[in-house]
Structure 1
Amino acid sequence: MAAYDKADLERRMAGSVEALKHDLAGLRTGRASTALLDPVTVEVYGSHMPLNQVATVSVPEPRMLSVQVWDKSNVGPVEKAIRSAGLGLNPINDGNTLRLPIPDLTEERRKELAKLAGQYAEKARIAARNVRRDGMDSLKTDEKKGVYSEDERKRHETEVQKVTDSTIADIDAAASAKEKEILGQ
């Protein structure tokens, strides 16, 4: 068990918030975002590559994505990868460029996405709680080794709890904002 390190705990908790923000950015809200295509991988040159390694993704209009494929021979595989990614997007092929109109979301799809945002938030809360548990365990171990007195351990546990509460508040705020965006409120 590693010794208690407040900076490491804060870094790991901040990482859970950043991971949540990245997950939420990939949820389609009816507005175009380059993050929407982050999970797409394309089979080119005999291997699977992230889309951003074979093309440039841009947002020319609020409800349109543009994918500029660098190598013309990869346009077909990129189009196929986007269609099969389960994002509900239908690329329009313009030679080297694929245009992706972002369709309106149905009410049912909005509810599904809001529920998914809630699941992402819960995953992030669990990650933050696991970091908290690791911190508490290392404090107890340090106390047994004589590194901290009981009073010092309790003071550090209070710090860990404050960091955890702050992190969970950040997670809740990010998830709440995304759910409002998805539901169009």
Structure 2
Amino acid sequence: MLNDIKKDAQTRMAKSVEAFRHDLIKIRTGRATTALVDHLKVNYYGSDMPLSQVATVAISDARSLTITPWEKQMVGAVEKAILASDLGLTPNTAGTVIRLNLPALTEERRKELSKLVHSESENAKVAIRNIRRDANHQVKELLKEKQVTEDDVARAETEIQKITDSAIKDVDDVVKAKEQELMAV
């Protein structure tokens, strides 16, 4: 039973770290990546579809993306989706090809993004600590039901803390890598 609780906590913490990593992809650095537009939804004949299902997204150079809709009438819908998004980018259209140019980040903007990364990391750490609290609560419930001894509870809580420390270190490593990416000129 204790092993199941520990494995569940470890799995949930790993998912929290992965979700944090996925959230950071949306934070724009000076480099172009197709992941910037992965979350965009385009109105395709009355239903919202992911951009990747209505167009081809490619990196043309280090600071620009090209988006080529599969149908010519989708160009306007894709432009609207980009303008309505939180990217802060203006699309340039030439026929059926839409170009997104990523401006170089200013020092001030880099610092703002760094603060955003830190606040997101704090949210991820809170989620991890909540998972630890839940796991410790489950262990104590087993003690109340007299299914485990107090020594087992102490050992389990120590192991859960080690798992928590490892997950928080993973979050810190992700933050460090993202900051290096942001500060690279």
Quick check: TM above 0.5? yes
Shift, 1:4, TM fit: 5.2
Q: Which shifted more, 57-66 or 125-134?
A: 57-66
Shift, 1:182, TM fit: 1.1
Paired position in structure 1 for 2:147: 147
Letter of the structure 2 residue corresponding to residue 7 of structure 1: K
Shift, 1:60, TM fit: 2.6
Aligned identity (percent) is 50
SS at match of 2:147: coil
| Alpha-carbon displacement from aligned partner over 1:71-122 (angstroms, at most 9, x marks no partner) | 2211101011112213122222132321111111122211111111111101
Paired position in structure 2 for 1:77: 77
CA contact (8 A) 1:43 1:49 kept: yes
SS at match of 2:68: strand
SS at match of 1:29: coil
CA contact (8 A) 1:33 1:59 kept: yes
Paired position in structure 1 for 2:6: 6
Paired position in structure 2 for 1:63: 63
Paired position in structure 1 for 2:45: 45
CA contact (8 A) 1:41 1:49 kept: yes
CA contact (8 A) 2:5 2:139 kept: no
CA contact (8 A) 1:41 1:81 kept: yes
Shift, 1:170, TM fit: 0.5
Structure 2: which 5+ residue stretches go unaligned? Answer: none
TM-score normalized by the length of structure 2 = 0.92
4+ aligned runs moved over 6 Å, structure 1: none
SS at match of 1:52: helix
Alpha-carbon distance between aligned partners in 2 of 1:106 and 1:134, rounded to the nearest angstrom: 42
Q: Is 1:161 aligned to residue 161 of structure 2?
A: yes
Alpha-carbon distance between aligned partners in 2 of 1:42 and 1:21, rounded to the nearest angstrom: 24
Alpha-carbon distance between aligned partners in 2 of 1:71 and 1:99, rounded to the nearest angstrom: 16
Letter of the structure 2 residue corresponding to residue 149 of structure 1: T
TM-score normalized by the length of structure 1 = 0.92
Q: CA RMSD in A?
A: 1.8
Paired position in structure 2 for 1:119: 119
Paired residues in the alignment total: 184
SS at match of 2:104: coil
Letter of the structure 2 residue corresponding to residue 78 of structure 1: V
Letter of the structure 2 residue corresponding to residue 82 of structure 1: I
Alpha-carbon distance between aligned partners in 2 of 1:71 and 1:122, rounded to the nearest angstrom: 42
Paired position in structure 2 for 1:23: 23
Paired position in structure 2 for 1:101: 101
Alpha-carbon distance between aligned partners in 1 of 2:97 and 2:77, rounded to the nearest angstrom: 13
Letter of the structure 1 residue corresponding to residue 30 of structure 2: G
